Structure 1
Amino acid sequence: MSLLSFLFKGQSLPDEIQILDREEYKKAISKGKVQLVDVRTKGEFMSGHIKGAKNIDFFQGSAFDNAFSKINKEKPVYLYCQSGNRSQRAARKLVKMGFTEVYDLRGGYRTWSY
């Protein structure tokens, strides 16, 4: 068993969540109007974000839940954060809320902007 599989055992992603690398993500969100959400803080969002993204801060608790309750659960949602950690946590939460197709940017915004 590798160290990574040991550290992350039991943390496999639900089928509804897919992690896309930067090029796959860019191609997917360029296909027209998508539900693109930056789950970073407002300050992080204001310092730079992917064009067309809506900012819904993962750390805002009930405001996060309320904002996602207004988003179509039947359509794909594309998430990202700074490094990929928060957006994976957000993706798991969205699946519990009933979202059926969630995509996450591998490595987060820091991989997008280089």
Structure 2
Amino acid sequence: MKILDKIFKPEKTRSNKIEILDVDVYKKAVNNNDVQLVDVRTSGEFKGGHIARAINIDFFKGKAFVEAFEKMDKTKPVYLYCRTGSRSLKAANKLINMGFEKVYDLKGGILKWK
């Protein structure tokens, strides 16, 4: 029975305050706009290439991650991305729990950007 529960367990519902955008929609939103654009990868990954005007706030930095986002405007949308979209979705959920009103995530991460 437990195996079937794992197979058919409904996917966790995510907040309606998080929207996952395809690369074309995401590019239009962040290009030529003054948005809060954040790369949640490590600094090494960030140095290897990132989206123009993005700032780097490493998801794995715990307290530093929270402190950096606490300085941001929670009423303005935040655009997140990582390598594949997994970390950024976790980060998005964390931001909603911190009180951010709207978070956009890049579907497939920066691997889909190029």
TM-score normalized by the length of structure 2: 0.91
Q: Which residue of 2 aligns with 1:103?
A: 104
Q: Which residue of 2 aligns with 1:44?
A: 45
AA aligned to 2:27 is: K
Structure (1 or 2) with the larger CA radius of gyration? 2
AA aligned to 2:98 is: M
AA aligned to 1:60 is: K
Secondary structure at the aligned position of 1:33 is classed as coil
**Alignment identity in percent?**
56
Distance apart, 1:6 and its partner CA: 3.4
TM-score normalized by the length of structure 1: 0.91
**Equivalents in 2 of 1:107, 1:24: separation in Å?**
13
State the aligned residue count. Answer: 108
**Equivalents in 2 of 1:78, 1:71: separation in Å?**
12
**Equivalents in 1 of 2:83, 2:8: separation in Å?**
25
Q: Which residue of 1 aligns with 2:23?
A: 22
Matched, 1:90 2:91: yes
Q: Which residue of 1 aligns with 2:63?
A: 62
AA aligned to 1:44 is: E
Distance apart, 1:18 and its partner CA: 0.1
Please give the root-mean-square deviation of Cα atoms over the aligned residues, in Å. 1.3
Distance apart, 1:32 and its partner CA: 1.5
AA aligned to 1:6 is: F
